[in-house]
Structure 1
Amino acid sequence: MRKEIELKLSPEEAFDQQQFESIVVKSLGLDVKSDNVIIRALKRSIDARGRKVKVNVTVEIFLNETPPPRITASVDYPAISNGKTVIIVGAGPAGLFAALRVIELGGKPIVLERGKDVRTRRRDLAAINKEHLVNPESNYCFGEGGAGTYSDGKLYTRSKKRGDVRRILEIMVAHGAREDILVDAHPHIGTNKLPQLVSKLRESILGAGGEIFFDTKVTDFILKDGEMIGVVTAEGKRIEGIGVILATGHSARDIFHLLHSKGVFLEAKPFALGVRVEHDQGLIDQIQYHCTSERGPYLPASSYALVQQTMFGGKQRGVFSFCMCPGGFIVPAATSPGELVVNGMSPSRRDSKFANSGIVVAVELEDIPAQYHRFGPLSAMMFQADVEKAAWQSAGSTQVAPAQRLVDFVEGRTSQSLLDTSYQPGLAPVNMAKEVLPEFISVRLQQAFKGFGQKMNGYLTNDAQIVGVESRTSSPVRIPRDRERFEHTEVKRFYPCGEGAGYAGGIVSAAMDGERCAEKLMETYGK
């Protein structure tokens, strides 16, 4: 017999396995747990709204019954060496999950990745942090696993329109992720765990007969009679197939330039731009968990989600937290020399003493300055690039990032000194409003930080600092596609996919989008 119960527990009761099982057993009217009782947490979420933090747990209990497996996904994929070739450009979440779905449907994926495999890629990340050298082909955005590999590994998504979230999570568990991601309301894997997971996804693709090529940059698309039948690599190699899934991520500007030059229809797309704010994690814990000292051993590093409506020039725009990384690090995410971009990541234990989050302003197309309109569908991207260049120049034209203490920024002062930081290349004091950020961005951020300080008492403090710029929140270009077929609106056999095409916003949503694009391509051209 299976039973399901809801419990509201203290953190210690929820996360100490022995106490947790004891409480569940007592709720069943039993004295001790017997071998014929199996207990599994089904869902778990932290409720910190009251003065005492509680954990809501949905529990499934099996009495005299063998429970079904937690997951149905496996790593046993069919051999498809002779399947029809599908070209996938990019080996991030969208590309890797597209490849696995192509295999399940009998096709043979050929995955082309401009960057390096996940292990070799680490050397280029070290070069950015220590030597300020940006490899335009291998960095925090480009390489096996994409931008998600060296990130917090957050797996929460509201995007359920194009796929099954549970299916994606189960595939991850089958490839080595912890089963906790099936239970926690806001699951994450951690930057230290993701490389191994990505490697195992690669092994499944290769083991089934698919192909993956690293250090292989696509420099042209083969178009014939309105159809995309293949690609050309930097070495001049032509690779053709039944279709092309483009999963290059939100930072592959050369791909957008290439498509535009070939007359492929693109659209400028709203995005968001701002800074990354860094606090002491202990302060955020005290605010969120209502504690006066350390949070204790059972609660995870706390996070927050904030939004504030702001006014400038008679226009209302939202300012919101983005990719909040509790117990994390700020990292240099530039993809080319001469630009400065920051992002955040966390290890699985989230045990850094710092908390950081993107705080970004919604940028609508009407907000883009007039001088960029000549770039047509690339206008938002070119505006984004110039802000990143200004950030790079303001702090000395290296990967040292411009920074300012939080209250100093709100009040328009250049900081005389900066705080310790998790950002390895270092910080330089810069008046962000005057030297880096467009006025409509800085004014809105200043308004929003005041509002955040009212919502979270203690948040607005000069013991926090902003680091710039956070600009790669999403793609500033959309590659339009048919809503039903997922195929480009004008070019047949071309499937724009994931964050880079403007149809996803994170690891899980990108993975789901990759799967759906693979299904539509195989349904139409794979028979």
Structure 2
Amino acid sequence: MRKQLSLVLPPEIAFEKERFEAYIKQSQQLQEVDNLYIRQLRRSIDARSKQVKVNVNAEIFIDEPPSQRISYQKNYPEVSKAEQVIIVGAGPAGMFAALRLVELGIKPIVVERGSDVRTRRRDLAAINKEHIVNPESNYCFGEGGAGTYSDGKLYTRSTKRGDFQRILEIFVVHGASEEILVDAHPHIGTNKLPNIVTAIRQSIIEAGGEIHFNSKVVDFIVKNGEMQGVRLQNGVNLEGIGVILATGHSARDIFELLQQKEIYTEAKPFAIGVRIEHPQQIIDRIQYHCDNRGDYLPASSYSLVSQIDYKGIEKGVFSFCMCPGGFIVPSATAQGEVVVNGMSPSRRNSKFANSGIVVAVDESDWKDYTKFGVLAGMEFQKSIEQKACIIAGNTQKAPAQRMVDFVNRKVSLSLPETSYQPGLTSVLIDEVLPPQIAQRLRKGFQDFGKKMKGYLTNEAVVVGVESRTSSPVRIPRDKITYEHLQIKRFFPCGEGAGFAGGIASAAMDGERCAEMLVKQYAKK
């Protein structure tokens, strides 16, 4: 017999396996049943009232084996001698495109400008400790892309693009915890992602695919309006039945190359702002209505949005990539710029909570950069990052200001402890950000302080700049075929092309591009 249950439980029962099973047995009067299997299907926290509860959907099997939770199997065909597709970029979009190609009997050749995850750690250490940015291997470039060193959030609103459950299961069979199949807002954690990324790479290689690191694309091979392949920096040409471009939102040289080759691209709205870092205890106190969340509740998060007017124009100010129990990290991709982002370990056990708080920007914000054409937004973005670097001292130290001081336009005489390893420099953030962004942030913080009592505090620090929220360029494609509007056999993909916004959506987009390429150009 199989039975499903919907429960409202205290955290100490919902998050403790043994106590949860004991509760089910007692509440369902199953203490005497020997052949019993219990598992959670879905779990979400409800903190709307002062007493935090957890909503749990569960199922029990009595005198019958449990159904299989994971249907995905790693039964990949041998593709070493099959038709091949070139994939540029080994982030979520590129890696999942490669796996899907293998499943479809096509050989993927993945080229990645950065290093593998193990070697990449040395490049990250150089940024944090020596303030040296390797432009080819950093927090944005390298195996696994920017997602490898992030919170590892896997929830998405883009489920229409693909099978979200399938993406989760692929992560699980490559080493992720089955908890990501249960939690309403699943995340993997930056400490676990490198091993999972390595396992996915191994699956691709064992099936006959290829992955080449430290292999920068410097040209596209286009003949008669068709993308034939790519040329690498070492002079090697790689050709196939098509090219999937999955380079992420920070590959500025690729955007410049597309413009040089007169391959059609468009400027795209994105968002720019700052990282705000609070002691995690403050956010827990606000969200959980208590001074100590205890041993079972996870570090709390938040999501905030407001429409803020500046000179008669309203734009959104919103939280982005909130990292409870996390760290702020340096995400520049070149010397002479300062960019910050956030990441969290799987346990989210840092004493800090950070989130991007950003303002929507569009062509009205970068009108002084129109001489750069479709790259105007990118140049606007770059100019702010370079200014942040100069003002903070021409290192990877980040410009910073206490939160209330920022609202009051007051230089902070001291800065609070931070998770940002390269260090902070006290400045007026208004010297870094354009006035339309700084003023909207100021009003946004005041509004957020009304929505979350205690959020607006000088115990929090504003750290600049959060500028890589999404790609400033879109590489347009056909809505049905996913093929570029101008160049045949060319499939722009993921965040860098403007069609995804996170690990899960990028992975689904990579799969769809692989399927569409095979459908149109592989031998039947």
Alpha-carbon distance between aligned partners in 2 of 1:445 and 1:147, rounded to the nearest angstrom: 25
The Cα shift of 1:34 comes to 3.0
1:212 alignment partner, SS class: strand
Instruction: State the partner residue of 1:443.
Output: 439
Q: Which residue identity lines up with residue 103 of structure 1 in the other structure?
A: V
The Cα shift of 1:267 comes to 0.3
Instruction: State the partner residue of 2:294.
Output: 296
1:382 paired with 2:383, answer: no
Alpha-carbon distance between aligned partners in 2 of 1:365 and 1:51, rounded to the nearest angstrom: 44
Q: Which residue identity lines up with residue 24 of structure 1 in the other structure?
A: I
| TM-score, length of structure 2 as denominator length | 0.99
Q: Is contact 1:378-1:477 (8 Å) kept?
A: yes
**Which of 498, 502, 511 does residue 498 from structure 2 map onto?**
502
Instruction: State the partner residue of 1:477.
Output: 473
1:119 alignment partner, SS class: helix
1:136 paired with 2:135, answer: yes
1:316 alignment partner, SS class: strand
1:521 paired with 2:520, answer: no
Instruction: State the partner residue of 2:41.
Output: 42
| TM-score, length of structure 1 as denominator length | 0.98
Instruction: State the partner residue of 1:492.
Output: 488
Alignment of 1:219-258 (within 5 A): 219-258=218-257
The Cα shift of 1:37 comes to 1.4
1:329 paired with 2:327, answer: yes
The Cα shift of 1:186 comes to 0.4
Which whole-Å deviations, capped at 9, do the CAs of 1:187-207 have from their partners, x for residues lacking one? 000000000000000000000
1:18 paired with 2:18, answer: yes
Q: Is contact 1:75-1:175 (8 Å) kept?
A: no
Alpha-carbon distance between aligned partners in 2 of 1:381 and 1:3, rounded to the nearest angstrom: 54
1:487 alignment partner, SS class: coil
Alpha-carbon distance between aligned partners in 2 of 1:49 and 1:502, rounded to the nearest angstrom: 35
The Cα shift of 1:33 comes to 5.8
The Cα shift of 1:70 comes to 1.2
1:61 paired with 2:60, answer: yes
Instruction: State the partner residue of 2:155.
Output: 156
Instruction: State the partner residue of 2:342.
Output: 344
The Cα shift of 1:290 comes to 0.2
Distance 1:486 1:284, change over 3 A: same
Structure 1: where are the runs of 5+ without partners?
none
Instruction: State the partner residue of 1:314.
Output: 312
Alpha-carbon distance between aligned partners in 1 of 2:372 and 2:4, rounded to the nearest angstrom: 57
**Which of 443, 452, 460 does residue 456 from structure 1 map onto?**
452
Q: Which residue identity lines up with residue 482 of structure 1 in the other structure?
A: D
The Cα shift of 1:455 comes to 0.5
**Which of 399, 420, 423 does residue 423 from structure 1 map onto?**
420
Q: Which stretch shows the higher mean deviation, 372-381 or 258-267? A: 372-381
Q: Which residue identity lines up with residue 510 of structure 2 in the other structure?
A: G
Q: Is contact 2:403-2:456 (8 Å) kept?
A: yes
Query: What is the number of residues matched between the two proteins?
Result: 523
Which whole-Å deviations, capped at 9, do the CAs of 1:355-400 have from their partners, x for residues lacking one? 00000001122232x2211111111111000000010001001000
Structure 2: where are the runs of 5+ without partners?
none
1:122 alignment partner, SS class: helix
Instruction: State the partner residue of 1:361.
Output: 359
Q: Which residue identity lines up with residue 329 of structure 1 in the other structure?
A: F
The Cα shift of 1:78 comes to 1.0
Q: Is contact 2:323-2:343 (8 Å) kept?
A: yes
The Cα shift of 1:233 comes to 0.2
Alpha-carbon distance between aligned partners in 1 of 2:32 and 2:104, rounded to the nearest angstrom: 45
Alpha-carbon distance between aligned partners in 2 of 1:419 and 1:508, rounded to the nearest angstrom: 34
Instruction: State the partner residue of 2:4.
Output: 4
Runs of 4+ in structure 1 deviating by more than 3 angstroms, as ranges, are none
The Cα shift of 1:59 comes to 0.4
Alpha-carbon distance between aligned partners in 2 of 1:236 and 1:161, rounded to the nearest angstrom: 40
Alpha-carbon distance between aligned partners in 2 of 1:250 and 1:87, rounded to the nearest angstrom: 19
Alpha-carbon distance between aligned partners in 2 of 1:33 and 1:3, rounded to the nearest angstrom: 17
Alpha-carbon distance between aligned partners in 2 of 1:489 and 1:237, rounded to the nearest angstrom: 27
Alpha-carbon distance between aligned partners in 2 of 1:159 and 1:22, rounded to the nearest angstrom: 37
The Cα shift of 1:509 comes to 0.3
Q: Which residue identity lines up with residue 197 of structure 2 in the other structure?
A: V
Which whole-Å deviations, capped at 9, do the CAs of 1:75-112 have from their partners, x for residues lacking one? 33111111111000000000000000000011000000
The Cα shift of 1:18 comes to 1.8
Instruction: State the partner residue of 1:97.
Output: 96
Instruction: State the partner residue of 1:395.
Output: 392
Alpha-carbon distance between aligned partners in 1 of 2:364 and 2:41, rounded to the nearest angstrom: 46
Which whole-Å deviations, capped at 9, do the CAs of 1:452-481 have from their partners, x for residues lacking one? 000110000011110000000000000000
Which whole-Å deviations, capped at 9, do the CAs of 1:339-370 have from their partners, x for residues lacking one? 100000000111110000000001122232x2
Instruction: State the partner residue of 1:171.
Output: 170
Q: Which residue identity lines up with residue 160 of structure 2 in the other structure?
A: K
2:129 alignment partner, SS class: helix
Distance 1:202 1:33, change over 3 A: farther
Q: Which residue identity lines up with residue 188 of structure 1 in the other structure?
A: H
Q: Is contact 2:483-2:490 (8 Å) kept?
A: yes
- Backbone CA RMSD of aligned residues: 0.8
Alpha-carbon distance between aligned partners in 1 of 2:34 and 2:348, rounded to the nearest angstrom: 35
2:320 alignment partner, SS class: strand
Q: Is contact 2:362-2:377 (8 Å) kept?
A: no
Alpha-carbon distance between aligned partners in 1 of 2:198 and 2:77, rounded to the nearest angstrom: 19
Q: Is contact 1:22-1:33 (8 Å) kept?
A: no
2:450 alignment partner, SS class: helix
Instruction: State the partner residue of 1:405.
Output: 402
Which whole-Å deviations, capped at 9, do the CAs of 1:197-235 have from their partners, x for residues lacking one? 000000000000000000000000000000001000001
Q: Which stretch shows the higher mean deviation, 170-179 or 66-75? A: 66-75
